[in-house]
Structure 1
Amino acid sequence: MTGWAEFIAAFITFFLSHSIPVRPTVKARLKTRLGAAGFGVGYSLLSIAVLAWLIVAANRAPFVPLWDWAPWQNHVTLLLMTLAVLIAALAVGRPNPLSFGGAQNDQFDPANPGIIGWMRHPLLVALMLWALSHILPNGNLAHVILFGVFAGFAALGMRIIDRRKQRLLGHQVWAQLATPNRQAQPSRAGMSRVAVGLLIYLGLIVLHGPVIGVSPLGVPL
């Protein structure tokens, strides 16, 4: 399978893999068989594998240029990616009853929400920044479709999750939790997450060339 056919097939597989396993009945059955940890690991590995295939399929799709690449575009991408990685580092594993990906949500403290005090859906914000940052230096049809769909997926996901959480939590409770709280002082744990995020960001820059095939520092991403 080559060209646009593989690209379309990869997209369909990606969305199916992110919709079917998380349906309540399917998820419950998988957790019964695999356990909660097994489901989490399996779902993560499946997501990474399908995403990798989707990126490879975009690279194999027919090249249809939309605009030329210029060196300054990479600087914009690097800046936005710094924000995306730091936001993700501050969000992963934190209690967040307002979005997906939260851990131990019953321990969420509205008086000390961390990154959640700035944005309800930090992981989706990070995904959107990743997608938008990669559109600019990739001015060809396949990659614009790829990253544009991911950006739209993240934006739509925020609205869908907000509606779902309001229904599950009740509008009053949701409104109380969703009220921005940006007064908390940076914690030692938060600063540690920032440091880890910067290390991960450097690792992504180093590995981008060997894994993706192009360097983010001097050629189109």
Structure 2
Amino acid sequence: MGGWGEYAAAWAVFLASHMLPARPALRGPIVDVVGERAFLAAYSALSILILAWMIGAAGRAPFVPVWGWAWWQAWVVNVAMVAACLLAALGVAVPNPFSIAGARNDRYDPARPGVLALTRHPVLLALALWSGAHLLPNGDLAHVLLFGPFAAISLLGMRALDARRRRRWGTGRFDALLPRGPARLAPARLAAGLALWAALAASHAAVIGVPPWPLPP
């Protein structure tokens, strides 16, 4: 496999790490010891580190072109990333019994759902936007194998989580918890999302090695 070995290892670690929050029997005892907030903070930090490793490993894998690059593809990413950053900021660690990223779920009120009025899975939708948009200007095999599965996992994960909750709760409770209020979005979280987007855009060239603002030839 040559240079593909590190990339395969990064994927293996990512998949193994994401088995934890999907299994209450594994997650529950840890949360009982450290608390929900500390668990989410530690798990989010670990996920970011693993994702950074995967991106780096994809860049170090052998380059096998699948489709070509055009300057306008990067602008699709720029637009999509604004929405992705806003959704991530609005959806992380908020009461959300539908999502594995929810926190303090006992405080969830269907009449005051916040971002859940737009989507029950804001973090997964943010990941789908990030990966789907980045797939377009990264047409080599390693990055197609990175961003393509991430987009698919994110989209299919939303359906899988809903199906799991419906089975566990029953249709009656599931329907009773569906958001029915307006999408009142926290200004502080909106500001945090825009700040996140600005920070990612400003650091992209230095960290990733590719400027996010290409101009037409």
Q: TM-score when scaled to structure 2?
A: 0.89
User: For residues 123 and 37 of structure 1, do their structure 2 counterparts lie closer, same or farther at Cα, with a shift above 3 Å needed?
Assistant: closer
Deviation of 1:34 (Å) = 4.5
Q: Are residues 1:197 and 2:166 paired?
A: no
Distance in 2, matches of 1:37 and 1:104, equals: 8
Alpha-carbon offset, residue 42 of structure 1: 3.1
4+ aligned runs moved over 6 Å, structure 1: none
The 10-residue stretch of structure 1 (13-22 or 35-44) with the greater mean CA deviation from structure 2: 35-44
Name 1:184's counterpart in structure 2: 182
Aligned to 2:100: 100
Contact kept? 2:40, 2:101, Cα under 8 Å: no
Corresponding position of 2:115: 115
What code does the residue aligned with 2:145 have? I
Tell me if the contact between 1:121 and 1:158 (Cα under 8 Å) persists in the aligned partners: yes
Matched residue type, 1:213 = G
- Structure 2: distance between partners of 1:192 and 1:218: 31
Distance 1:64 1:197 in 2: 34
Q: Is the 1:2–1:60 Cα contact (8 Å) retained in structure 2?
A: no
Looking at structure 1, the residues matched to 97 and 21 of structure 2 have their Cα atoms a distance apart, in angstroms, of: 21
Identical-pair percentage: 47
Which residue number in structure 2 is paired with residue 218 of structure 1?
A: 214
Contact 1:94 1:103 in 2 (8 A): yes
Supply the distance in 2 between the matched residues of 1:174 and 1:96 (Cα, whole angstroms): 12
Moved more, 162-171 or 39-48: 39-48
Distance in 2, matches of 1:89 and 1:47, equals: 16
Which residue does 1:59 correspond to in 2?
59
Other structure's SS at 2:47 match: helix
Per the alignment, do residues 186 and 168 of structure 1 end up closer, same or farther by CA in structure 2, a change over 3 Å counting? Answer: same
Structure 1 letter corresponding to 2:89: A
Extract unaligned runs of 5+ from structure 2: none
Q: TM-score, normalised by structure 1?
A: 0.88
What whole-Å deviation, never above 9, does each CA across 1:131-184 have from its counterpart, x for those lacking one?
A: 001001101111011000101111121121111111222211111322x53x62
Q: How does 1:45-194 map to 2 (within 5 A)?
A: 45-178=45-178, 181=180, 184=182, 186=184, 190-194=186-190
Q: Number of aligned residue pairs: give it.
A: 215
